[in-house]
Amino acid sequence: MIPVRDKHILLGVSGSIATYKAVALASRLVQAGATVDVMMSEAATKMVQPLSFQAITHRVVLTDMWAQGAETEIGHVTLAKAVDALLVAPATANTMAKLALGFADNFLTTTALALRAPLIVAPAMESGMWEHPATQQHIATLRQRGAWIVAPEAGYLASGASGVGRLASEAQILATVAQAMTAQDMAGRKVIVTAGGTQEAIDPVRVIANHSSGRMGYAVAEAAARRGATVVLISGPTALSPPPHVALCRVTSADAMQRALLAELPDADALLMAAAVADYRPAQAAPQKIKKNDDELLLRLVRNPDLLMSVKAQKPPQLITVGWAAETENLLANGRSKLTRKGLDLLVANQVPQSFGGDQVQATFIRAEGDEALPVMSKAALSEKILDEVVRLWARANDNA
């Protein structure tokens, strides 16, 4: 769920073939707990009836600045000062030009001029219009002024041609709205997150796997990207969709995860090792499918490398490392010994099977300064707490430098 609960979002809609997609965006924002006011340009009202938005937001849709009573119901200047963000989606070339040049000839552009909150612009247009130097210049102006641009995607366009100009995906737009309202306290930092369980081949069709769902690591990666970090997510096989604004690297075995991890390590500022790495793998993966000839089958397993130990051996000085420990007994004692042995700055310990698969988790932070048992919370909320610790550790390292 996008973190927009209790936020007040103004959705500015201009007239494009993609206008209908703004109805779904409004719906997603409302479902996520935001209050959504909608302003439509005149052209937008020709594509979609204001009633569609009204039915979803349960609020008056602002269309005509000159209509009787328009300014008595909701003052647009008041609104511009009250909202947490203005999302313009879809933004036509015309509306974008007006926003860049500071025109104020309708509700949307007038409000944008009085806005004090973040502006997010999601353009949609025909590819020739998108590529035109005028449009590109307006985009550059908006960016330079601090607006968040959700670049359009390449694909099928209403003209029948293919090219860049399609409105970005709902997920991209909503993630950018959430990011625009979040303090960018991880900006300029590179963060590696590992997630999911590794799989070790027995033969071409069978693997040794574990119950890790990958949710913890995916939640951390999503939160770090929202806080402005450049995120590389190295993931074992999972059923999850990759979070927006994250570079995903899919791997299968512990060995492959180690190679990907060490390649990304030299310029990383933090490693969050949420993956459930298999400790053992079959000594030899059979080249052909193993047939069931005998009553018993013995598999000889050999130790996998410990990825955190290999990181410890070549740890770049700036790196903060966070490990997880899923334990069935002696949570704190086992956790503390893992913290030292693996050279971690923070260990997130939790009791299995409670932490596996579900969304709610009770974790204990184990660190040099002392332990902290956290209340039960969602993996998304826990991710924020973990990242707060990482940011605090970066600040402390800076102070000591």
Q: Which residues bind ligand CTP (CB under 6 A)?
A: 254, 273, 275, 277, 279, 304, 306-308, 323-326, 338
Other beta carbons within 10 Å of 156: 11
The distance of closest approach from Cβ of residue 254 to ligand CTP in the complex, given in angstroms and rounded to an integer, is 6
Which residues on neighbouring strands pair with residue 273, listed in sequence order? 194, 323
Closest CB 40 distance from ligand CTP, rounded Å? 49
Task: Give the CA dihedral 218, 219, 221, 225, nearest 10 degrees.
Answer: 140
For ligand CTP, give the closer residue by CB, 187 or 309.
309
Residue of 106, 210, 293, 400 with catalytic role: 210
First to last CA, the chain: 39
Q: What is the nearest approach in angstroms of ligand CTP to the Cβ of residue 316?
A: 17
Q: Which is nearer to ligand CTP, 302 or 395 (CB)?
A: 302
Residue with Cβ nearer ligand CTP (100 or 308): 308
Residue 210 designated active-site: yes
Question: Rounded to an integer, what distance in angstroms lies between the CA atom of residue 307 and that of residue 262?
Answer: 9
Q: Give the C-alpha separation, 295 to 291, whole Å.
A: 11
Strands 153-156 and 162-166: antiparallel
How far apart are the C-alpha atoms of 278 and 160, rounded to whole Å?
49
CB of 243 to ligand CTP, least distance (A): 19
Amino acid identity for residue 74 in this structure: I
Question: Quick one: which H or E segment has residue 120?
Answer: strand 119-123
The answer to whether 79 and 73 are in contact (CB under 8 A) is: no
Query: Least CB distance from residue 291 to ligand CTP, whole Å?
Result: 31
**DSSP states of 327-378:** ESS-HHHHHHHHHHHTT-SEEEEEETTTTSSSSEE-EEEE-TT--EEPPSEE
Q: Which is nearer to ligand CTP, 227 or 338 (CB)?
A: 338
Residue 63 CA to residue 70 CA, distance in Å, equals 9
CB of 272 to ligand CTP, least distance (A): 9
CB 373 within 8 A of CB 364: yes
Output the CA–CA distances (angstroms, integers) from residue 236 to 197, 198, 268, 344, 387, in the order listed. Answer: 5, 5, 20, 22, 22
Active-site positions read 210
